[in-house]
A and B are shown apart, each in its own frame.
Chain A
């Protein structure tokens, strides 16, 4: 029984650490987004709170925490409360299977743990997809329970959009699954070790450089669909401020609003982590091995690996901001046509091509 409680304690510590890092990243993102947008538009961004405005996220958090919590008249109170929770939980729970660093094991008090992944389950990718699809309920119910036209329209748009693009996300990763032969994110990342040409975006065979299994089309489909699934610009139809006030969270204020907000940013971090793990080699450096490993500091090599993972994730997060500063919003029919008539055929063709090359040139 002591072993069980020890395992529980270790797991809880891991969960707390990952939650802390994710929340910290979300805080950084709220500031980084305003700063990056400001620079791109030749502004300063927030400058008032703290030196160079770096304490702005704390001020925002405190403001939301102390704001009055308003429930609109005629709203369904239970659903109105449930919706932000339903949006937040799936965004957080997906991090359980993300490998942040190398697949090493550490013995703590006689039990073996993997310090860089909370749970290496053999259906990791499907687990993330499953909970990503649950996130739509928070948005739909939030829209429905607010008793507001704008909220309802935002919720409905979101439902259609999430279903359409979730399909593309699922199909885009099939090529990677075919090549790695596994659904576990740890195994998939390990299959991409040994230099950037082995990352699935290029897909060279283990014995060569030629990118025969390249997944670059799947990568593009995945990234675009991930932007759409997180309701970010240019696919932010559910919260289009020029048409729908603020979409599904028009009626929300205070901490309930903060939950939706955190969920959106946590989802961005999650899809960035998944994209980095599936297509860009996860924790693997773009060169074989690690520099610290060659220097004889094998036990410190994880620092380098985690740094590479962080760099890749932040690169994707920057892409989100970049798209927001650059692209105008799509019209709704354009959004649907793009999803079903452009993204879906590309993803399907990629599966066929990858299956053929994987059959004739097995890895």
Chain B
């Protein structure tokens, strides 16, 4: 049963991911991305990570993708403009990733897979959300803080970029 769900989600994720880059109409691309986000959330649910699934939809589908759609609708892109000569670059990246995938598949037999420290039962006892909060503020406190600092920098950067020059404002008024 779980296998069926996994293969369904995996197939739809792969298919819609390709549609995102293959669709001619950027609004359709955004919608394909929306379907993909939902299926990624579905994968999280099959892993008993309900909190992550909900946050995935709230943050990516509910906020970020709406902003994308906003921009795409305003730009009203001419369809030809989207296709530059990207083949050399795409081929280089594609070949690199393909080789990596093959190497990883071959090497998989030599090393044991990483095992997560938290088991399903410990998560089940405390509840999914509590488990994430616990780990974020103890084991992974430093990476968590670093990530928030990076986000803060990005926020300040966005404000600086969007803001008018202070001297400009002064001269105006």
A79 to B27 CA separation, bound complex (whole angstroms): 10
B129 touches A159 (CB 8 A): no
A123 touches B50 (CB 8 A): yes
Query: How many residues belonging to A are interface residues under a CB distance threshold of 8 Å?
Result: 27
A121 touches B50 (CB 8 A): yes
Known A-B contacts A79-B27, A123-B128; the reply to A140 vs B50 at CB < 8 A is no
Residues of chain A with a CB closer than 8 A to B51's CB: 123, 126, 183
A166 to B50 CA separation, bound complex (whole angstroms): 20
Residues of chain A with a CB closer than 8 A to B106's CB: none
Binary flags per residue of B39-74, CB closer than 8 Å to A gives 1, else 0: 000000000001101110110011100110110011
Assess whether A22 is interfacial by the CB under 8 Å rule.
no
Binary flags per residue of A169-188, CB closer than 8 Å to B gives 1, else 0: 01000000000000100000
Query: How many residues belonging to B are interface residues under a CB distance threshold of 8 Å?
Result: 22
A152 to B69 CA separation, bound complex (whole angstroms): 12
Majority SS at the chain A contact face = helix
CB distance from A158 to the nearest CB of B (A): 10
Q: Pick the contact of A160: B31, B34, B61, B70 (CB < 8 A).
A: B70
B66 touches A140 (CB 8 A): yes
Residues of chain A with a CB closer than 8 A to B54's CB: 123, 126-127, 129-130
Known A-B contacts A133-B57, A134-B57, A134-B61; the reply to A122 vs B127 at CB < 8 A is yes
- Closest residue of A by beta carbon distance from B55: A126
A156 touches B63 (CB 8 A): no
- Closest residue of A by beta carbon distance from B72: A144
- Closest residue of A by beta carbon distance from B25: A76
- Closest residue of A by beta carbon distance from B128: A122
Q: Pick the contact of A163: B31, B34, B61, B63 (CB < 8 A).
A: B63
CB distance from B58 to the nearest CB of A (A): 5
Residues of chain B with a CB closer than 8 A to A162's CB: 66
Residues of chain A with a CB closer than 8 A to B62's CB: 129-130, 132-134, 136, 166
Assess whether A302 is interfacial by the CB under 8 Å rule.
no
A131 to B41 CA separation, bound complex (whole angstroms): 13
Known A-B contacts A79-B27, A121-B50, A122-B50; the reply to A130 vs B57 at CB < 8 A is yes
Residues of chain B with a CB closer than 8 A to A126's CB: 51, 54-55, 58
A163 touches B27 (CB 8 A): no
B127 touches A159 (CB 8 A): no
A127 to B52 CA separation, bound complex (whole angstroms): 11
- Closest residue of A by beta carbon distance from B51: A123
A137 touches B55 (CB 8 A): no
A202 to B27 CA separation, bound complex (whole angstroms): 46
Known A-B contacts A123-B50, A126-B54, A155-B73; the reply to A133 vs B27 at CB < 8 A is no
CB distance from A149 to the nearest CB of B (A): 12
CB distance from B120 to the nearest CB of A (A): 15
A166 to B70 CA separation, bound complex (whole angstroms): 16
A39 to B70 CA separation, bound complex (whole angstroms): 40
B66 touches A159 (CB 8 A): yes
CB distance from A81 to the nearest CB of B (A): 13
A163 to B58 CA separation, bound complex (whole angstroms): 10
- Beyond contacts A127-B54, A144-B73, A155-B73: 18 other A-B pairs, Cβ-Cβ < 8 A, are A79-B27, A122-B127, A123-B50, A123-B128, A126-B51, A129-B54, A130-B54, A130-B61, A133-B66, A136-B66, A137-B34, A156-B73, A159-B66, A159-B67, A159-B69, A159-B70, A160-B70, A163-B63
A sample of 12 cross-chain residue pairs with beta-carbon separation below 8 angstroms, ordered by A number, consists of A121-B50, A122-B129, A123-B50, A123-B51, A123-B129, A129-B62, A133-B58, A134-B62, A140-B70, A140-B73, A141-B31, A159-B66
